[in-house]
Amino acid sequence: MHAAVVTAFNQLIAKKDEFLPGMKLAMERAMLTSNSPRVTEIDERLDELEAFLAEQTSEVTEYDEELVRQLIEKITVYDDHLVFEFKSGLETEVQM
């Protein structure tokens, strides 16, 4: 399981330039059309994820429990893969 967590973080790091602009744009639109506290909470979590990704200059090489608790909302286990849902709403899949 720890190796799969490391893989999930590295998948996220590898694709950060692809999804971060779109996520920020979606959050800006949501904040303009909603006063929901949930939108503000998601925006704060997106900022946490963005800060983590900005700090990463290389791949994650070992499991970090604090990082998992800070960034991952849940892990869904299937027969052949795991789905990692980050607190920002992003998901990534790791094959087993």
Q: How far apart are CA 68 and CA 32, in angstroms?
A: 30
Q: Where are the domains of the chain?
A: 2-95
**Portion of the chain with pLDDT greater than 70, in percent:** 94
- Fill in the DSSP letter of residue 22: H
Q: State the Cα–Cα distance between residues 38 and 17, nearest whole angstrom.
A: 25
Identify the pLDDT of residue 53. 82
pTM over 0.75: no
**What pLDDT, on a 0 to 100 scale, did the predictor assign at position 43?**
73
Q: Is the pLDDT of residue 94 over 90?
A: yes
Q: DSSP letter string over 47-80?
A: HHHHHHHHH-SS---S--HHHHHHHEEEEEE-SS
Euclidean distance between CA atoms 31 and 40, whole angstroms = 7
Q: Measured between alpha carbons, how far is 94 from 14 in angstroms, rounded to an integer?
A: 14
User: Per-residue confidence at 71, pLDDT binned at 50, 70, 90?
Assistant: confident
pLDDT band at residue 76 under the 50/70/90 scheme? very high
pLDDT at 20 over 80: no
Distance CA 23, CA 43 (A): 10
